Amino acid sequence: MKELPKAYEPQKYEDKIYKSWEESGFFNPDVCVREGVTDADAESFSMVLPPPNVTGTLHMGHAAMLAIEDTMTRYQRMLGKKTLWLPGTDHAAVATESKVEGLLIKNEGFTKPKEELGRDAFMEKVHAFARESHDTIVGQAKKMGSSLDWSREAFTLDEVRNKAVRQVFKKMYDDGLIYRGHRVINWSVKGQSTCSDDELVHVERPAKMYYFKYNKDFPITIATTRPETKLGDTAVAVHPEGKYKEYIGQVLEVENVGQKGHNLKIHIIGDDHVDETLGTGALGVTPAHSMVDFEMYQNQKALGNDIGLIQVIGEDGLMTARSGSEYEGLSVEEARSKFIEYLNSENLLEKEEEIVQSAGTSDRFKDVVEPLPKTQWFVDVNKKFTLEKSQIKGIESGAEVSLKELMQAAVRNGDIDILPERFVKTYFSWIDNLRDWCISRQIWYGHQIPAYIDIRNKENEGVIFFEENKIVLTEEQIDETRKFDFGFLMLDNIKNFVHSAKFSQINFWLEKKWITIEDVQEAFQSVHFFTCKKVDVFDNDKDVTKYHFQDPDTLDTWFSSGMWTFSTLLDGDMKDGESLEEWLARSQDFQDFHPTQMLETGYDIIFFWVARMILMTTYTLGTVPFDTVYFHGLVRDEKGRKMSKSLGNILNPLDMIGKYGADATRLSLMIGTSPGQDMKLSEEKVEGLRNFANKLWNISRFMLMNIDKVNKDIEIPEAKTLADKWILDELLSDIKEYHSYMNSYNFSQVSEMLRDYTWNKLADWYLEIAKVEGNKSEILNYILNTILKLWHPFMPFVTESIWKEIYGENEFLLVERVPSYNEDNQLWVENSKEEVAPNFKKLQGVINSLITKIRNLRAEKGIAPSKKLKAYYKENKVLEENTHIVNALARLESFEKTESFDEEHISFIEAGVECAIDFSGVVDKEAEKERIEKEIAHIKPYLMAQEKKLSNAGFVDNAPEAVVNAEKEKLREAKEKLEILEGQLQKL
RNA sequence: GAACCCAUAGCUCAGUUGGUUAGAGCGCUACAUUGACAUUGUAGAGGUCAGAAGUUCGAAUCUUCUUGGGUUCACCA
pLDDT of residue A864: 39
Closest-lying nucleotide for A749 based on CA to C1': B14
Nucleotide nearest to A360 (CA to C1'): B76
Q: Which nucleotide is nearest to A634 (CA to C1')?
A: B71
**Residue A457: band (very low, low, confident or very high) from pLDDT cuts 50, 70, 90:** very low
| Separation between the CA of A605 and the C1’ of B6 (whole angstroms) | 21
Residue range A653-665, pLDDT digits in tens: 899 999 999 999 9
d(CA A62, CA A360): 27
Q: What percent of chain A has pLDDT over 70?
A: 76
pLDDT tens per residue, range A403-444 = 999 999 999 998 999 988 889 988 998 898 888 898 988 888
Please state, as a whole number, how many other Cβ atoms lie within 10 Å of the Cβ of residue A300.
Answer: 22
- Tens digits of residue pLDDT in A93-114: 888 998 999 999 999 999 989 8
Nearest nucleotide (C1') to alpha carbon of A762: B36
Q: Closest Cα to residue A448, out of A372, A554, A340?
A: A554
Q: Model confidence over A597-634: pLDDT tens digits?
A: 999 999 888 888 999 999 999 999 999 999 999 999 88
Q: Which of A71-85, A262-276, A613-627 has the lowest mean pLDDT?
A: A262-276
Residue A15 has pLDDT above 50, yes or no: yes
pLDDT at A485 (0 to 100): 38
Average pLDDT over residues A663-682: 88
Q: What is the pLDDT of residues A461-520, one digit of tens each?
A: 333 333 334 445 566 655 655 544 333 444 433 333 444 334 445 555 556 555 554 554
Among A53-62, A82-91, A287-296, A955-964, top mean pLDDT goes to: A82-91
How many CB atoms neighbour CB A47 within 10 A?
24
CA of A6 to C1' of B32 (A): 22
pLDDT at A828 over 60: no
**What does the alpha-carbon distance between residue A220 and residue A238 come to, in Å, rounded to a whole number?**
10
Q: For residue A80, what is the enclosing H or E element? A: none
Distance A51 CA to B71 C1' (A): 24
DSSP codes of every residue in A214-282:
SSTT-S--EEES-GGGGGG--EEEE-TTSTTGGGTT-EEEE--SSSTT--EEEEEEE-TT--TTSTTSE
In this complex, the residue with its CA at the shortest distance from the C1' of nucleotide B23 is A752
* Closest alpha carbon to A885 in A927, A916, A855: A916
Spatial contact of A532 and A453, defined as CB atoms under 8 Å apart: yes
CA of A744 to C1' of B57 (A): 33
Give pLDDT tens digits for A944-988: 877 877 777 777 777 667 667 777 777 777 787 777 777 767 766
User: Residue A631: what pLDDT?
Assistant: 93
Average pLDDT, chain A: 79
Report the protein residue whose CA lies nearest the C1' of nucleotide B5. A677
In this complex, the residue with its CA at the shortest distance from the C1' of nucleotide B27 is: A684
**Kind of pairing between the strands at A82-86 and A370-379:** unpaired
The nucleotide minimizing the C1' distance to residue A606's CA is B72
Most confident of A31-45, A488-502, A738-752, A812-826: A31-45
Taking the C1' atom of every nucleotide in all shown strands and the CA of A977, the nearest one is B19
Q: What is the 3-state secondary structure (H, E, C) of A522-539?
A: HHHHHCCECEEECCCCEE
Q: How far is the CA of A669 from the C1' of B68 (A)?
A: 28
Per-residue confidence band for A761, with pLDDT thresholds at 50, 70 and 90: confident
In whole angstroms, B43 C1' to A762 CA is 19
Task: Give strand letter and number of the nucleotide nearest A705 (CA to C1').
Answer: B36
Is the four-CA dihedral A745, A747, A750, A752 of positive or negative sign?
Answer: negative
Give yes or no for residue A142 having a pLDDT over 90.
Answer: yes
Structure confidence at residue A507 (pLDDT):
55
What's the confidence (pLDDT) of residue A925?
58
Residue A90 has phi, psi (to 5 degrees) of -110, 135
CB of A751 closer than 8 Å to CB of A672: no
Closest residue, CA to C1' of B2 = A429
**Listed ranges A492-506, A643-657, A749-763; the one with the highest mean pLDDT:** A749-763
Contacts (Cβ under 8 Å, ≥6 apart) of A976: none
A358 CA – B75 C1', rounded, Å: 9
Note the pLDDT of residue A794.
Answer: 96
Q: If pLDDT is split at 50, 70 and 90, which confidence band does A549 have?
A: very low
Three-point CA angle A945, A947, A948, nearest 5°: 65
Confidence class for position A903, pLDDT limits 50, 70, 90: very low
Closest residue by Cα to the C1' atom of nucleotide B17? A973
What is the spatial distance, in angstroms and rounded to an integer, between the CA atom of A845 and the C1' atom of B44? 11
- Is residue A731 scored above 60 in pLDDT? yes
Is this structure's pTM higher than 0.90? no
* Angstrom distance, A878 CA to B12 C1': 40
Strand B bases contacted by the protein (CB, 7 Å): 3-6, 11-15, 19-21, 24-27, 31-33, 35-37, 39-44, 56-58, 72-77
Residue A924 has pLDDT above 80, yes or no: no
Task: List b or e across A515-530, with b for residues whose CB sees 16 or more CB atoms inside 10 angstroms.
Answer: bbbebbbebbeebbbb
- Residue A900 pLDDT exceeds 70: no
> What span, in angstroms and rounded, lies between the C-alpha atoms of A585 and A16?
40
Å separating the CA of residue A875 from the C1' of nucleotide B72: 68
At residue A8, the pLDDT reads 93
Nucleotide closest to residue A844 (CA–C1'): B42
CA distance A52 to A886: 58
CA–C1' span, A775 to B59, in Å? 50
Q: Which residue has better confidence, A203 or A546?
A: A203
Euclidean distance between CA atoms A107 and A110, whole angstroms: 8
Higher pLDDT, A587 or A520: A587
Tell me the pLDDT band of A879, cut-offs 50, 70 and 90: very low
Are the C-beta atoms of A696 and A795 separated by less than 8 Å? yes
Output the distance from A633 CA to B37 C1' rounded to whole Å: 34
Q: DSSP character for A765?
A: I
Distance from CA(A960) to C1'(B57), angstroms, rounded: 22
pLDDT of the residue at A6:
86
- Quick one: pLDDT at residue A302? 83
Residue A632 CA distance to nucleotide B33 C1' (Å) = 42
| Nucleotide nearest residue A848, measured CA to C1' | B42
CA of A439 to C1' of B76 (A): 26
Residue A278: nearest nucleotide (C-alpha to C1'): B77
Closest nucleotide relative to residue A204's CA, C1' based: B76
pLDDT digits (tens, 9 = 90+) for A145-182: 999 999 999 999 998 998 899 889 888 988 889 887 77
Task: For nucleotide B56, give the residue with the nearest CA to its C1'.
Answer: A970
What's the CA angle centered on A624, arms A620 and A626, to 5 degrees? 130
Q: What is the pLDDT of residue A691?
A: 94
**DSSP code for A757:** I
Nucleotide nearest A281 (Cα, C1'): B77
Between these two residues, A863 and A83, which has the higher pLDDT value?
Answer: A83
The three-state (H, E, C) secondary structure of A759-822, written as one string: HHHHHHHHHHHHHHHCCCHHHHHHHHHHHHHHHCCCCHHHHHHHHHHHHCCCCCHHHCCCCCCC
Average pLDDT over residues A825-840: 42
Give me the phi and psi of A254, to 5 degrees please.
-115, 120
- Pick the more confident residue, A9 or A983: A9
Q: Which nucleotide is nearest to A356 (CA to C1')?
A: B76
More confident residue, A352 or A71: A71
The 10s digit of each residue's pLDDT in A224-261 is 999 999 999 999 999 888 888 889 999 999 988 888 88
pLDDT at position A858, please?
A: 46
Do residues A196 and A437 touch, judged by C-beta distance below 8 A?
yes
Strands A452-453 and A596-602: unpaired
Phi, psi of A274 (to 5 degrees): -75, 130
- A425 CA from B64 C1′ (Å): 22
* Per-residue CA distances from A763 to A611, A753, A758, A760, A841 (Å): 47, 14, 6, 6, 11
pLDDT for position A962: 66
Q: What is the pLDDT averaged over residues A271-280?
A: 80
Residue nearest the C1' of B74 (CA based): A433
Average pLDDT of A80-85? 97
Q: What is the mean pLDDT of residues A776-799?
A: 96
Weakest mean pLDDT among A189-193, A388-392, A425-429: A189-193
DSSP letters along A416-429, please?
SEEESTHHHHHHHH
pLDDT at A836 over 80: no
In this predicted structure, what is the pLDDT of residue A63?
93
Query: Quick one: average pLDDT of A355-364?
Result: 80
B43: residue with closest CA to C1': A845
Tell me: pLDDT of A51 over 90.
yes
The pLDDT value recorded for residue A166 is 84
Beta strands in A52-130 (DSSP E): 82-86, 88-89
Query: Residue A674: which nucleotide is closest by CA–C1'?
Result: B14
Amino acid whose CA is nearest the C1' of B38: A691
pLDDT of residue A907: 42
Q: When comparing pLDDT for A186 and A917, which is higher?
A: A186
d(C-alpha A99, C-alpha A365), whole Å: 9
Taking residues A59-69, report their average pLDDT.
Answer: 92
Distance A385 CA to B51 C1' (A): 54
Distance in angstroms, CA of A821 to C1' of B22? 29
